[in-house]
Amino acid sequence: MANVRVERTDDGGFRATNARGAEVRIGGGDEDGVFTPVELLLAAVGGCNIVTVEPLTAQRNKRLVRLAMTVQAEKVEQSKLGPVTVTYDVELPSEDARSVFEAVAERVHEKYCTVSRSLQEGTEVRLELP
């Protein structure tokens, strides 16, 4: 089971931490040095895809010279996002690596990225109050 703790900090900001000690500062879009909750969602989509694509292309001896992506979405309502778009920015080690990269990226998107699949399939979010 995955879990994070999100809490207000002593300085009035917010942070998310995990059991391994990692920490991310969270805030509004007008604050420097923090991620908004929507940006964290987009980072989760990108992170899930990229950390899965990297080892799979490398295992096929087609490790990409550069592997990056941009993940974006626009709000279509005050509290609802429209489609999330993942755009890869890659440098291939050779032209024959293109088909391997494309096949891996598509498979990861369709089957292996837990975050993207959960968004696409509409995972239920439950609220438990004390």
Q: Residue 83 burial (CB < 10 Å; 0-12/13-18/19+)? A: exposed
Backbone angles phi, psi at 28, to 5 degrees: -90, 170
Q: What is the pLDDT of residues 1-19, one digit of tens each?
A: 889 999 999 999 999 999 9
Give the number of other CB atoms < 10 A from CB of residue 37. 13
CATH entry, 36-121, from 3.30.300.20, 3.30.300.30, 3.40.50.970, 1.10.3720.10: 3.30.300.20
Is this model's pTM higher than 0.85 or not?
yes
- The alpha-helical segments, DSSP class H, found in the chain are 37-59, 97-107, 114-121
pLDDT, one tens digit per residue, over 22-42 is 999 999 988 999 999 999 999
* Bridge partners for 75 per DSSP: 81
